[in-house]
Every structure is written in structure tokens, then in C-alpha cells.
Amino acid sequence: MPDKELAEAKRILYGRSLEPLEFSAEAQKIAEKSDFQIAGYRFEAEKESTRTSRVIRLGLVQNAIIKSTDEDVLVQRDSLHQRMVPIIEAAALAKVNVLCFQEAWTMPFAFCTREKKKWCEFAESAEEGPTSKFLSQYAKMHDMVIISPILERDDRDIIWNTAVVISHTGKVMGKSRKNHIPRVGDFNESTYYMEGNTGHRVFDTKYGKLAINICYGRHIPINWMMYGLNGAEVVFNPSATVGALSEPLWGIEARCAAIANGYFSCAINRVGTESFPNEFSSADGKPAHKDFGHFYGSSYVAAPDGSRTPGLSRIRDGLLVTELDLNLCRQVKDKWCFQMNQRLDMYQNKLGDVLYNDQHGKKSEDLIREEE
């Protein structure tokens, strides 16, 4: 395809073209030595008179598990902790301010097995657990906010799917639980945990207002919306999802959320195929088996103007570094006015009508039938 036409095709598919970021040779070297992809892009924004630029760098991490799933829980978890050491170091060298890992990053995505034993042992305290302690030192050392999505066990032994936000000071700033739980394909994750009760928290960090919409929540636009209404400038979507199921949706949903809500969205997916000790069936008429498909990586960042970075690899571990100016959020809102025109009061009333009708077995008054 001629250069000019290719540029136009790319613009239509991906929005404006982004400059690649330069990294320190040191970061490159670590990536090479530790066998992970490192890639970086820059989203520009306009200069303003009344606000200084708020340029930050985000780091998105995607990775495969290290140890076999029949190893001891601690061996598996610690191998993943160790896997992050060079990745965090490269991120620090690449001047990343906010680093986010994939969903349930300290474990294989074992929820397809429906077995409780062993897998529940990966759950740990958000505030005091070994993973938060492990990351806390790096957050403080590198002046970096770290978002750590784990399987959480609370004081009442209730298990949650939770993202822990560790401040640049090394303190746990808070947590945000997964709001919508899949009952699809290989998963009814409510075998392990129920819908989250932390609402749509936004963390007002040194590097901007951050929120986390975990995995399946990306399919629910009103969920994305609520983080925006609470002021989020960046929403992370740490995920674990396989090719045959969701891949054609992957490039659409987080990007649409960025457009609709005037923030940056960050889609993160693990990589690799995970095999489990005992066979399980997948409710699809096929024989029992030990894995359920390929996690396709392809992590990316989308901007409020609809542009996006290329995705990371479909098969390799990777660190995606994105430089952006948070001021772009308001600039796009000022231009498009999606928020101003949103008519939220109408929707609050309409939702009330829908819930009432549903509870009382009534049809919507907005359902118009042919006259007799």
C-alpha cells in the first residue's frame, strides 16, 4: 500500500499517529536480557494558559505464569514476584510513574477448574499481604504508584477480585473490587467471589486521578461511565481473557470507554496458555481438557480523542510505556461536550422506570405497537 494511503488507513483505524518513545539503553538491555518486549508511545496535548502540562508515564505489564500449576502455591507466587523485579526496574528506568499489572497477577487464572483447594490459597490481604509488602518497597524506591490486581482474602475470609493501589510513598492507598463477574465460557467466577462492594472509587494520586475497572467490567459501559463521573483521568482494565472468546471485542470496548468518558483507558491482558493438574470440562460439549485457550496479550492504551497505541505482543511478556498529558482529558471534553450533553437526570429517572417495570411485570411505556 502506498505510504499516503497507509497513513490514512491507520488514521481511520487507530486515530492520529503517535510518536514512539525513546528509552534509556539500560531499560532496553534489561528487556532483552530478561526476555520481555518493551515498547513506548507518546500522546501529545495542547499547551494551556491556566494549567501547566501534567505529563506522566504509564506502564502496563503483561506476562505469562512462570512455574507449572502443579507446583506449590508459594513457589508459583514467588516466581511471579521475581519475574516483576527486572520489569519494575526497566519501568523505573523508562521513567514510569504509574505501573499496573494484569488481573490476578500472582497466580494462574485457575477459576476455570472450579476447584477450591489450592487456588483459594493464592488469596491474600490487600493491605497486609505479601504481594502488597513486596511491591511497597519498589513503589517507594521509584516514587511510583503501583496498581496490583490480586485475589483478595478479607478479615472475614471472604474472597474478592481486587486491585490494590499502592501510593508512591509505598503505602496502600486503597483498593477497588471487581464490579461485574462473568458467568460465561469457562468461568463462573462467582464460584470464588461475588460482585464487588467498593463502588467506583477514584484514587487521587500524585500522578492524577486513577481508577480500576477489572476484566469483565469492560463489557458494561455504565460501569466505565461511573468511574468517569467520579473524576477518573486514567482507568485501568486489568484482564485475563482468551482469543476465541473475546479477541474481536478487545480493541473496541476500552477504546469506546476512553472516547465516551474523556479519559485514558488501559487494557491489559495476560499472555500464554495455562495448563492445570486436573482435567475439567468447559460446558461446550467437548471432552474434558487441561487448558482453556490462549491469553492473547495485546495490551494497549486509548486516549479520550479515540486514538490508541499499537498493542503489545500476542505471545510475549511485555511492558508498554505511554507518555501522556492528563490535560488532554479536559481538552477533549471541552471540544466534544459528551459530558455536558449527557442528560444524567433523564437516565436516572428512566432506570427507575425500567427497574419498576421489571419488578412489577410491566412492559415499557416506550414500547410502541402497531395500531389495530
Residue among 75 and 222 whose Cβ is closer to its own copies = 222
Q: Is 117 a catalytic residue?
A: no
Candidates 230, 236, 229; CA nearest to 211 is 236
Q: Is 333 a catalytic residue?
A: no
Q: Which one of residues 29, 289, 335, 362 is an interface residue with its own copies (CB under 8 A)? A: 335
Please check whether residue 111 is in contact with residue 159, taking contact to mean a CB–CB distance below 8 angstroms: no
Task: Identify the three-state secondary structure at position 40.
Answer: strand
| Residue 181 interacts with its own copies (CB under 8 A): yes or no | yes
Region of 74-82, 122-130, 133-141, 215-223 interacting with its own copies (CB under 8 A): 215-223
How far apart are alpha carbons 123 and 240 in whole angstroms?
17
Q: Which of 95, 175, 178, 209 is catalytic?
A: 178
Candidates 139, 137, 123, 31; CA nearest to 77 is 123
| Residue 355 interacts with its own copies (CB under 8 A): yes or no | yes
| Residue 262 interacts with its own copies (CB under 8 A): yes or no | no
Q: Which one of residues 180, 290, 294, 330 is an interface residue with its own copies (CB under 8 A)? A: 180
Q: Which one of residues 25, 35, 340, 360 is an interface residue with its own copies (CB under 8 A)? A: 340
Which residues pair with residue 319 across a beta bridge? 38, 61
Q: Which one of residues 74, 221, 278, 281 is an interface residue with its own copies (CB under 8 A)? A: 221
Q: Which of 112, 215, 266, 329 is catalytic?
A: 215
Cell 485475589 belongs to residue? 151
Contacts of 176 (CB under 8 A, 6+ apart): 162, 163, 165, 196, 198, 201, 203, 211, 212, 214
Please check whether residue 292 is in contact with residue 112, taking contact to mean a CB–CB distance below 8 angstroms: yes
Q: Which one of residues 86, 293, 306, 310 is an interface residue with its own copies (CB under 8 A)? A: 306
Q: Could you tell me the smallest distance in angstroms from the CB atom of residue 137 to its own copies? A: 18
Q: Is 215 a catalytic residue?
A: yes
How far apart are alpha carbons 92 and 134 in whole angstroms?
16
Residue among 108 and 228 whose Cβ is closer to its own copies = 228
Region of 18-26, 80-88, 109-117, 178-186 interacting with its own copies (CB under 8 A): 178-186
Q: Catalytic residues, which ones?
A: 103, 178, 215
